[in-house]
Amino acid sequence: MSKYAFLLAFAIVAVLACNRVNAISEIPAVGAAAPAFNLTSNEGKAVNLADYKGKWVVLYFYPKDFTSGCTLQARNFQKDLAKYDAANAVILGVSVDTAESHKEFCAKEGLNFKLLSDTDAKVSDQYGSIMEYNGAKLSARNTFIIDPQGKVAKVYPKVKVAGHSDEVLAALAELQKS
């Protein structure tokens, strides 16, 4: 192996290792049963994945209410809400914020979909969507499309906010064809 090939291989391994430092658990695989959950919504009500059997679920994890990237992501899902309704899909957002924070965030941004409170980060962890930031656990920005039978149909790790809702809608259309 040449010196440059060795250095390149070493650099790739180092980058991969660094990217895993903040990840705590593994993301569920496509085709696996989506982990069940019972979380409190911005409306103060319990929400279970089983409540949505027979519907497509777009389950998105995000770090924090009222931050720029999370606000843009939520606004984009809200803008496309009628398209999700037409595709027999619901949007559920999850973060470690409280249900009260979610209620205020929904009111401020005019969000008409549920945000779920995962204050102990257990569900975020089950979905491999947890990270540590300055010693605190936050939900990592990952999105899952769950089919009407409750299986993971598509996974978007490390989501880039711009254009994400369009990307999810296109994937839903493709998944619903098969």
Bridge-based pairing of strands 130-133 and 114-117 is unpaired
The burial class, CB within 10 Å (0-12 / 13-18 / 19+), for 54 is exposed
> Residue 70 catalytic?
yes
User: What number of CA atoms fall less than 13 Å from residue 65's CA on the CB side?
Assistant: 25
Q: How far apart are CA 145 and CA 169, in angstroms?
A: 10
Total number of residues shown for the chain: 178
Please identify which of the residues 47, 49, 58, 70 carries the catalytic annotation.
70
Active-site residue numbers? 70
